[in-house]
Structures are given as structure tokens and as C-alpha cells.
Amino acid sequence: MDKKSLIGLLLMGALLIGYSILTRPSQEEIERSRRIADSIQQVELRKQIEAEAARLIQDSIIQASPEEQEELDRQRQSNELGQFAEAATGEEQFFVLENQKIKMTLSTKGGRPYSVELKEYQTHDGKPLLLFDGDTTVFNLNFFSQNRSIATQDLYFQPLSETQNLNAEAREQTLVLRLHASDGNFIDYIYTLKPDDLKVDFTIQFNGVEQLIGKNNPMIDLNWSIALRQQEKGYKWEDQYSTIYYKYFEDEVGKINPRKGGGGSADLTTRVEWIAFKQQFFSTVLLAEKSFLSARVSTTKLPEESNHLKTCTSVMSIPVGGADGDRVNMTFFFVPNHFKTLKELGHEMEDLVDLGWPFISWINKWFVINIFNFFEKYIANYGIIIIILTIIFKLIVFPLSYKSYLSGAKMRVLKPQVDELTKKFSADKAMEKQQATMALYRKAGVNPMGGCLPALLQMPIWLALFRFFPSSIELRQQSFLWATDLSAYDSILNLPFTIPAYGDHVSLFTLLMAISMMVTTKINMDQTSTAQPMPGMKVMMYIMPVMMLVWFNSYASGLSLYYFFSNVFSYIQQVVTKRLVNEDKLLHKLKENQKKPVKKSGFQARLEKMAKEQQAKQRR
């Protein structure tokens, strides 16, 4: 080994020794590691002891007689539930409150609403319409009593009624379910139903509230959860309209965005007046007389094959004791999402009907809904009402359509003059050609944008109806021609496969709408054609109907019916307007306008100045 190699090995050894000295743990770190190891060992030892104890207990239970095992269970329940131990055992019974409109089944296990049926409605396949039912529901008080966590969902209430079916068609009926505790204390759930009513009054009554939940506990949690059942034919659209709504105390109504992929949640940190589990056409609402102190709400999407849409959950803080006393008054509302019905109930519940953004919802609230409510008094078929609504809207916008047609006619009769101007300018003088064309229009008194403005003014009506038809319970299960439900899609052919974005069926109303849209678009283009058609417009003429055919195939057939007849009446209006407009007289009038001096507005002068400056820059 030469000298250089020896030096290298020595240096490497020195580095290793130095590194080991520098990274050597201190005495404190060594002690800390030893304590951690000891604590882990103690935890493992404790687990072994607990496992052995559990085994011994199990062995004693197995070896115990039935009487001894019952005593062991009683002791365990007493340790876990304290003064509520006796309520841990019992037999589940069902009681029914019903009137002409609703049938509410209540379970003694948890004292909870077990199911609710709306008797005046059916599902899309003719079955009884249940808002919720069975073990998919949770209605649970959570609180601490004697340092024990109590959940009323697992405890048995005792009914204070011998009659299991309480009929409220003739007079008010009340059912009291009592949860007993020791020392004569109890919690009552009081349900009251009146004749011909859609609401059930609900009261939680504490007897001995301080003994039950203590003096320093001014609130307890109410955990409410239901799985929304699929009621309608179109799962996709029903799912998109199902979510949780809530109203802040003396404030606005909010909701969880129903179009979130897997669901959503919201923390309501201020007082809340009511919380609603809303479906496309029906809602279950819980309103607090003195408002909930706060709440947390969430939705979870369920698989389609489960026949449910989403699980809606709300954990609400309710005040007890103190200044609020030992009674908590609430009200259940089991309601169809009918705008005027909800408006009569108050509390801004009409916002449960999704009528679109605020700037278009007023069209539905004050115009469309009133038209429907007026004509349904005299006409039983809602398809005919939609056609009448179409005629009314087309008559209202006819002045705008007439101006749009007139603007196109003016540009059409000036087309030969525009063609002459085009020949005067070469391809590299597009700016000069555009200026000359605009000057010609200005002298003749033609506004090139005159045909666009009327169409833009009609957009709010289009958007309003787009939101109205899927939300209108008036159209639910109403048939017209081959459509069995105007609030859902119509189908003349069910496909044995599913086409992505299109579906597994063929909607004839959507097909007719797309064809009529293509025809009217082509007619409009022919009537407003100029020397310089907008690039790509002919392609869009065919693309847009195809896109609408895909989008609307699973949408409400009432909307496709409206757009189809709207296109038909648009064509009729164009034929009538064409007869009213004499293009020869119109051309003569425009030529007379060209002879008159044109007074430029300040805006036009500024535009021309900017154009000249831009042209000068290009020349430089």
C-alpha cells in the first residue's frame, strides 16, 4: 500500500469516528427512549391483563345460570347507562298517527319517527310514497347523565296510549312516548296531529331536567338522519335536486350544493330556524320554536342500486333548562314542494322550490306559476297548458321578434350595396372595408346589432323555464300524448344499452325539438344572410341541435314540449312578419335615409377617431 492510500484510509477512519461521536445520543435522549420503551411495555401488559379479564368474564357468563347472567347484564347496563339502565331492555312497538294527508309510524325504540307516508301521492311506479322508513332513520338525543353518555336511539320508550292507531281525520290526536329514568324522572316525546294537516307538532318534555342532565349543561344534541328514497323515474335529475336546506334565524335560506360529487357538509355556527331534507318534489322539515343554537349538516351519496339517493344528517344543539325551561317545542312538516302551499306555511319555506337565480326566479314566482294556477282551474291537461303558455310568451316577445326580423330585412335589402363596397377594397384593407360598411348602415339607419338584442332580452324567460319545469310538482305524473310524466323524460324506445351522456332511451319530444330548432335556425340564417356570414355559423347550425338532443334526452319532457312548440310558433311568426314587411318599400325608405345628412353622436365620433388612429398606426 502506498503512502497516499494509507493517508486516505486514515482520513476515512477519522471521519467515521468523528461522526459517531457527534451523533451519539445524549444521556437525556437515552433516558427518554428508555421511558418510551417502558411505557409501550406497560401498555402491552395492560392490554394482556384486559384481554385476560374479558376472557374470565366471558367464562363466568358462560358458566353462569340464566338468573346470574341476567344479573350480570343488569349490572353492566347500570354501569353504562346509570339511571336509564331499565330502559335498555324492552320490546319494540309501532304506533300510527294519521289523517287525510299523512300517515306517520312511530317506534317505541328510540321514540323516533319510523316512517312517513304522503297518502295523496304515489311513486313513479304506483307504490305508496314514503318519505323515509325503517332502520335508515335516526332520531337521537345525545347527552351526558351522571358522567355517562346517553343515546336515546337505543332505549325503549313507554307509550301512554293503549290504542296503536290514532286517527286524526275527525279530531286532533296526541301520542306520548315516555323514557323513564330512576327517581321518577323521565323524558316525554309528545306528537300531535290535527285533521287535514301536513305538519306534526313535536315536544320534548323533561321532568327533572337537572337530575337528568345536570345543572351546567344548557344544551344537548339532537341527531337526525334519514336516507332519501328514490321516488321519480329519472334518478339523475332527482339526485341533483335532493339536498339539505336550512334557514338561519331571521336571515336567509341556504343549502348544500346538491351537485357535489360525493355529498357535502356545512357548519351552521349561528342560530338556525329550520332544517329541511329536500327531494325533487317533497321535503321533510324540522322547525324549532325558539331556533336551534347551532347545527352541522351533511349529505352522503348512496349507490343507485340501493333505491335511495342520499343520506341527510343533521346534528342540532337544542336549549334545555335555564331560561328556556324544560320543554323544547318543534314541528315536523311533511310537504310537497308546491310553491303556494309552502308560501302559506311561512318561514320562507317556498325557497325549497328551486326556481333559479334571483334575477330569473321572479319570472317563475310572479308570472309562470300564476299562469299555471289560473289555467289548471279550467284545463285538466297540463300539456295543453304548456302550449298555451308557449303562445302567451311568443305573443309577449313578438314585438322583439318583429324588430329582429326587421333588422335582418334591412341588412338583406342592403346586401347588393354591401357587395359593391366589398369589390372596391382588396383583401389587405379589411379595416377600410369594415368602416365603409358601417358608414353605409349608419346612413341608412340600420343597426347591425338590432337582431341580437331581442334574442338577449328573451334569455331570462328561457332560463326561467329551464329551472321551472324540473321543479314544478304541478307537472309530476301528468301525461300528454306519449309522455306519461311531464316532469321526467318521455321515451318511445328503450335501448338495451346505455350511450354515454345520452342515456338508455330515445325521447321523441327532444328529437322533435332538435329538428325544429335546426329548421328555424336555417330559416333565420337564410333571411339574415349578408355578404360576410359569421365564420363557423353553418357548422353551429348543425352542432347546437345535436348538443341539445343529448342534453335534453333525460330532462323534463315538459320543457322539450315547450321548446318544440316555441320553435313551431317562431316559424309561424316569421311567415306572418314576412307578409307584413314589404322589402321594396323598406329599400326605398333606406335609400331616402341615405340622402339625409347623418348626425354623428359623440360615441360614434370617438369610435371613428379611434379607428383612424389604429389605421394610422398600421400604416406606420
| Cα 526 from chain centroid (whole Å) | 42
Which of the four pLDDT bands, split at 50, 70 and 90, describes residue 368?
Answer: confident
The confidence score (pLDDT) of residue 135 equals 82
Percent of the chain with pLDDT over 90: 30
Which of the four pLDDT bands, split at 50, 70 and 90, describes residue 237?
Answer: confident
How confident is the model over 160-189, as a mean pLDDT? 90
Q: In this model, does residue 489 exceed pLDDT 70?
A: yes
User: Which range scores top for mean pLDDT: 5-14, 37-46, 480-489?
Assistant: 480-489
Q: In this model, does residue 229 exceed pLDDT 70?
A: yes
Alpha helices in 450-552 (DSSP H): 452-471, 508-527, 537-551
The confidence score (pLDDT) of residue 39 equals 44
Check if the beta carbon of residue 453 is closer than 8 Å to that of residue 609. Answer: no
Q: Is 30 exposed, middle or buried (0-12, 13-18, 19+ CB in 10 A)?
A: exposed
Q: In this model, does residue 52 exceed pLDDT 60?
A: no
Q: Which segments within 39-127 are labelled E, that is strand?
A: 94-98, 102-107, 113-122
| Cα 377 from chain centroid (whole Å) | 30
Alpha-carbon span 140 to 151, nearest angstrom: 6
Delimit the domains of the chain by residue range.
40-87, 90-354, 363-595
Weakest-pLDDT range from 22-31, 171-180, 264-273: 22-31
Tell which wins on pLDDT, 446 or 326.
326
Q: In this model, does residue 563 exceed pLDDT 70?
A: yes
Weakest-pLDDT range from 214-218, 256-260, 302-306, 344-348: 214-218
How confident is the model over 196-216, as a mean pLDDT? 83
Q: In this model, does residue 370 exceed pLDDT 50?
A: yes
The confidence score (pLDDT) of residue 276 equals 96
Which of the four pLDDT bands, split at 50, 70 and 90, describes residue 131?
Answer: very high
Which of the four pLDDT bands, split at 50, 70 and 90, describes residue 36?
Answer: very low
Alpha-carbon span 215 to 194, nearest angstrom: 36
How confident is the model over 176-202, as a mean pLDDT? 91
Weakest-pLDDT range from 132-136, 209-213, 594-598: 594-598
Alpha-carbon span 197 to 119, nearest angstrom: 12
Give the DSSP H or E segment for 274: strand 272-278
The confidence score (pLDDT) of residue 54 equals 56
The confidence score (pLDDT) of residue 207 equals 85
Percent of the chain with pLDDT over 70: 69
287-320 pLDDT, tens digit per residue, is: 999 889 999 999 998 888 888 899 999 999 988 8
Query: Quick one: which of 444, 598, 448, 445 has its CA closest to 531?
Result: 448
Query: Quick one: which of 475, 274, 511, 446 has its CA closest to 385?
Result: 475
Which of the four pLDDT bands, split at 50, 70 and 90, describes residue 215?
Answer: low
Q: What is the DSSP string of 365-390?
A: IIIIHHHHHHHTTT---HHHHHHHHH
Classified as helix, coil or strand, 227 is strand
Tell which wins on pLDDT, 348 or 89.
348
Weakest-pLDDT range from 95-99, 355-359, 378-382: 355-359
Question: Which pTM value belongs to this model?
Answer: 0.75
Check if the beta carbon of residue 184 is closer than 8 Å to that of residue 273. Answer: no
Alpha-carbon span 341 to 458, nearest angstrom: 29
Q: In this model, does residue 194 exceed pLDDT 90?
A: yes
How confident is the model over 516-535, as a mean pLDDT? 66
Which of the four pLDDT bands, split at 50, 70 and 90, describes residue 67?
Answer: low
- CA separation, residue 277 to residues 118, 130, 282, 335, 453 (Å): 15, 14, 9, 11, 41
CA angle, 196 then 199 then 201, to 5° = 120
CATH node for 90-354: 2.70.98.90
Q: What is the DSSP string of 292-332?
A: ESEEEEEEEE--GGGTEEEEEEEEEEEE-SGGGTTEEEEEE
Q: In this model, does residue 142 exceed pLDDT 80?
A: yes
Classified as helix, coil or strand, 29 is helix
- Quick one: cell of 144? 351526558
Count the Cβ atoms, other than its own, within 10 Å of residue 392.
14
- Quick one: cell of 521? 335556425
Alpha-carbon span 16 to 340, nearest angstrom: 85
Which of the four pLDDT bands, split at 50, 70 and 90, describes residue 588?
Answer: low
Tell which wins on pLDDT, 155 or 34.
155
